[in-house]
């Protein structure tokens, strides 16, 4: 198993994406959450092909925090079956990986909300 992962999830609007980002940062299970969108998604749902505009969150984290991340996302995600996928980080800038580790340490810090609300 690798030490770090990038987790992705997709939601139906930018406000929800930012809510997930803020939540994960405040919980210290992510060092960074990038929100991209809107994107166009085409997928099967209940026997039909559907299309939707979505926003994707790319979450930088420690692999051992995956289950916390999944549980946290599920608490606020609007979809019946949310996309929550983890991709192993095989290699990366050593300084960046140290930063992920440092920022996801379990010590109380200032809330990320103030920065995301700017």
What would the pLDDT profile of 45-87 be if each residue is shown by its tens digit?
Answer: 999 999 999 999 999 999 999 999 999 999 999 999 999 999 9
State the pLDDT at residue 106: 78
Categorize the per-residue pLDDT at 25 as very low, low, confident or very high, splitting at 50, 70 and 90.
Answer: very high
Inform me whether the pLDDT recorded for 98 exceeds 80.
yes
Inform me whether the pLDDT recorded for 19 exceeds 60.
yes
State the pLDDT at residue 107: 65
DSSP secondary-structure letter at 64?
A: G
What's the token pair of residue 98? 């140290």
As a whole number of angstroms, the distance between CA 2 and CA 16 comes to 29
What's the token pair of residue 83? 């996309």
Inform me whether the pLDDT recorded for 118 exceeds 70.
no
Inform me whether the pLDDT recorded for 116 exceeds 60.
no
How would you list the strands of the sheet with 84-88, edge to edge? 32-45, 48-62, 4-11, 84-88
Is residue 7 a contact partner of residue 85, using CB atoms and an 8 Å limit? yes
| Domains in the chain: ranges and CATH | 4-116 (3.30.70.120)
Mean pLDDT along residues 28-40: 98
State the pLDDT at residue 61: 99
Is residue 106 a contact partner of residue 28, using CB atoms and an 8 Å limit? yes
């Amino acid at each position: 198993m690798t030490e770090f992962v990038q987790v992705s999830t997709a939601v139906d609007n930018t406000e929800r994406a930012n809510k997930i980002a803020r939540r994960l940062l405040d919980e210290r299970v992510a060092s960074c959450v990038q929100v991209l969108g809107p994107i166009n998604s085409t997928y099967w749902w209940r026997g039909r092909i559907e299309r939707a505009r979505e926003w994707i969150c790319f979450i930088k984290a420690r692999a051992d925090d995956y289950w916390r991340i999944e549980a946290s996302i599920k608490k606020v995600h609007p979809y019946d079956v949310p996309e929550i996928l983890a991709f192993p980080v095989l290699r990366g800038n050593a300084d960046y990986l140290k930063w992920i580790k440092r920022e996801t340490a379990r010590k109380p810090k200032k809330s990320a909300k103030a920065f995301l609300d700017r």
